[in-house]
Amino acid sequence: DAKTTQPTSMDCAEGRAANLPCNHSTISGNEYVYWYRQIHSQGPQYIIHGLKNNETNEMASLIITEDRKSSTLILPHATLRDTAVYYCIVRVAAGAGSYQLTFGKGTKLSVIP
């Protein structure tokens, strides 16, 4: 699976949009971009995923560049409960293999009151 690069940490003011970038310049055509977050002492929580089109759900929006080499996760109105480590992961959707997720170090997002 392609390697991803994320900033180590970011701060965001409560109520503002949090924009978390991810670089995946070696992504293949059949690899999806997934975002998970992990709040202290909990398991990773699925947020959103996409292939090439922008996606939105009740938690966040995912913007993928046209060349698919980078993406941005947007939390439209950050709250203190959004403080967590955010992981950007690319993973093949079909083919041989067990489809495990390869986590990097992620971005530690701190939402500031």
Partner 1 sequence: GAGVSQSPRYKVAKRGQDVALRCDPISGHVSLFWYQQALGQGPEFLTYFQNEAQLDKSGLPSDRFFAERPEGSVSTLKIQRTQQEDSAVYLCASSPQVGGNQPQHFGDGTRLSIL
Provide the binding-site residues for partner 1, judged by CB under 8 A: 32, 34, 41-46, 49, 51, 87, 93-95, 97-106
Round to whole Å and give the CA distance between 91 and 111.
Answer: 28
Map residue 81 onto helix, strand or coil: helix
Longest CA–CA span in the chain (Å) reads 46
Smallest gap from residue 95 Cβ to partner 1 (A): 7
33 versus 75: smaller Cβ distance to partner 1: 33
17 versus 28: smaller Cβ distance to partner 1: 28
Query: What's the DSSP call for residue 17?
Result: P
Smallest gap from residue 21 Cβ to partner 1 (A): 17
For the sheet with 55-56, list strands across it: 18-23, 70-75, 61-64, 55-56
- Find, among 60, 43, 57, 53, the residue nearest to 101 by Cα: 43
Smallest gap from residue 99 Cβ to partner 1 (A): 6
23 versus 103: smaller Cβ distance to partner 1: 103
75 versus 87: smaller Cβ distance to partner 1: 87
